[in-house]
Structure 1
Amino acid sequence: MKRRQFIKNASITSVGLAVGGSVLSCMEETSEKTKKESMMTIENKLPIAICTWAFAGATAKSGEELNKGVKALDAAISGVEVEEENLKNTTVGKGGAPDRQGNVTLDACVMDSNGDCGSVLCVENITNVAELAKRVMTETPHVILAAKGAEEFAYIQGFKKENLLTEDSKKAWEEWLKSPEYKPLINIENHDTIGMLCMDKDGDIAGVCTTSGLSYKMKGRVGDSPIIGSGLFIDNTVGGAVATGMGEEVLKTVGSFLIVELMRNGMSPQKACEEAVSRITSKNDRYKDFQIAYIAINKAGETGSYCIHEGFTYMKYQNKVNENIHSDYFNKA
């Protein structure tokens, strides 16, 4: 190659490298700018609390805690405790409907933003089982404690023993005994859970489920609510989901885990909830006899919900506004 041609080619290459470097630098700056703008958008949405059903007091309490800077899991537990202690709520905590033998047993689970979780099943005499589930997570090497073992652990942790069967619940159970039939009513007896998802000011997500289970269930029955992956699942890099309704059907599809995985693969919280309901209705022609509902939140602060039958609503606290949202539903026949 002639000297003049070599110098010319070298000059062109140098220009190309300079331009390429400038373009690359510009792309990196644009990407970083987009990332910062995205983070600012998310931060403007925070904090967020959503829960199943019209439990306005629960999201109000969680929102209040989140606004103080409380972490997501503790805020969620504070919120559900409002319903665990609400004697008029016959599906959660103290005052919950008993099993067929007249015993109130509670189930709960929690999952933190770091992936840790805890669960308690068939617990008697303890009201705040969501907090108890957290203690299993933080104070034991286990994930699940059940029945008498969970109750004994509660006393070690300083929880007080309480009679969970109120006079109103006892009267309703005695009335049911006159003509016992196990056929839960849609949106009444099988809205048996408060599931709460919180995203705190740092963008971390955590969740809680707590329930007294289906009214007049068989002794020892446990549904989806305290089962990680079915009643609740969190992946802090993706989002979280909780379920309510007929727990046996949620268990069969590991519904909350499914929703998070669908979001991981690009679905919005709304579309993921719709697909999870579809997995149930497409495989079970008895879906007209029971209700299933899901709520979900992703890392961008977007929320969604879907159910089988009309009537399910969920609460959403955001920007100091606490609103009840009616869910879209599958069975429009």
Structure 2
Amino acid sequence: MDRRKFIRNSSLGSAGLLSGSSLLSCEGETTKAAVAAESGGPIAVCTWDFANATARAWEVLNQNGSVLDAVEQGVMVEEADPENQTVGYGGRPDRDGVVSLDACIMDSEGRCGSVMALEGIVHPVSVARKVMEDTPHVILAGAGAQQFALESGFKLKDLLTEKSKNQWLEWQKTSRYNPIINIENHDTIGMLARDKNGNLAGACTTSGMAYKMRGRVGDSPVIGAGLYIDNEVGGATATGVGEEVVRTVGSFLIVELMRQGMSPQKACEEGVARIIAKNNGKLDFQIGFLALNKKGETGAFCIHPGFSYRKYDTQGHRNIPSESYLKS
């Protein structure tokens, strides 16, 4: 996975499948978030360079499948890929060598489901959907989530691959039991989609921060933080250090900003600005948002350590730095 590319966008218009294109780089090379479906056409977007995931989601939509099926099956591609060490099977473990997974899903009717700290199940997003559809609850966690998954027909699997195990053993040699939070150890996949009828859905799934404390949960399974859908307005999802997203209820914030008239791009920029402002302009973590509105317009913004950030411009207005400033 090329982590320089934050967004991979696939969309369907009357001419058929359009090739994916990078909307935003987390290295300061911003591009226009202009790739969107033609009027009324389906669209699927996701964080990072997961072209196979968006391709699968688009395939479901193209076959007149539901938008909920599209986002679920799209992110399942990455959950099952042992080479993706930030999601599902093959994910990097916690400090104790245990792989635990977080995921959530939300549909156009406002229904949602979530699992937190789930162990031994390859597809937490599917368990989250079961929570949404088959229980009176929104969230199941830990041993209870695993019990529910097994009772629902999911099978146990050892999620720790040799590659991730060996990296964990190597980390133990030099760690102070305090893993460095950087752009290499947490790349959530969040997916947003719209069907031909204009209905929206989203899913978010991750193995969380590498070498986290046992039981740590980030933003990914938290409705309103890692993911939020409002079928009247649009949807948003987040990636990066989950603690920072939770503190601002980031995805809900972005959807509300779009409700107030902001474009998806401006809303994502403002969401990042709020987080940086709460940290007094300090940036020692990565954070990014992806948004899709009802019209099919997309937006994304991502920053990480190494970026300079000027909180306000000379007139005292909140300022999102330009590309040239980010590179300075």
Q: Pick from 71, 81, 84: which aligns with 1:86?
A: 81
RMSD: 2.1
Rounded Cα–Cα distance in structure 1 between residues aligned with 2:144 and 2:38: 42
Q: Does residue 1:108 correspond to 2:103, yes or no?
A: yes
Paired letter, 1:158: G
Is residue 2:183 matched to residue 1:187? Answer: yes
Tell me how far 1:43 sits from its aligned partner: 6.0
The 3-state SS of whatever aligns with 2:288 is: strand
Alignment match, 2:9? none
Amino acid at match of 2:185: E
Q: 1-side partners of 2:166 and 2:182: how far apart?
A: 22
Spell out the pairing of 1:214-225 with structure 2 (5 A cutoff). 214-225=209-220
Which TM-score applies when normalising by structure 2? Answer: 0.81
Identical-residue share of aligned pairs (%): 58
Structure 1 residues 55-88: Cα deviation after superposition (integer angstroms, max 9, x where no partner)? 1100010011110111111100101011000000
Contact 2:81 2:90 in 1 (8 A): yes
Could you tell me which runs of 5 or more consecutive residues in structure 1 were left unpaired when the two chains were aligned.
1-40, 312-327
2:303 alignment partner AA? I
Larger Rg belongs to:
1
Secondary structure of the 2:269 match is: helix
Tell me how far apart the structure 2 counterparts of residues 253 and 330 of structure 1 sit (CA, whole Å): 25
How far apart are 1:309 and its partner, in Å?
A: 3.2
1:58/1:79 contact within 8 Å kept: yes
Q: Look up the equivalent residue of 2:166 and give its one-letter code.
A: K
Query: Structure 2: 5+ residue runs without aligned partners?
Result: 1-35, 307-322
User: When the two structures are superposed, what TM-score results if normalisation uses the length of structure 1?
Assistant: 0.80
Match of 2:261 among 260, 263, 266: 266
Taking a change above 3 Å as real, the CA distance of residues 329 and 84 of structure 1, as seen in their structure-2 partners, is farther
Tell me if 1:298 matches 2:282: no
Alpha-carbon distance in structure 2 between the residues aligned to 1:187 and 1:307: 11
Within-5 A mapping of 1:162-241: 162-181=157-176, 182-184=178-180, 186-191=182-187, 193-241=188-236
| Distance (whole Å) between structure 1 residues aligned to residue 210 and residue 182 of structure 2 | 12
Task: Indicate the residue corresponding to 1:160 in structure 2.
Answer: 155
Render the CA deviation track for 1:81-106: whole Å, top value 9, x for unaligned: 11000000110000000000000000
What's 1:21 paired with? none
CA distance in 2, matches of 1:78, 1:195: 12
Count of aligned positions: 278
Read off the aligned partner of 1:133 and give its amino acid letter. A
Q: 1:73 aligns with which of 51, 68, 74?
A: 68
Aligned to 2:311: none
Deviation at 1:289, TM superposition (A): 1.3
Q: Is the 8 A contact 2:179 2:210 kept in 1?
A: no
Q: Is the 8 A contact 1:72 1:198 kept in 2?
A: yes
Q: Corresponding residue for 2:127?
A: 132
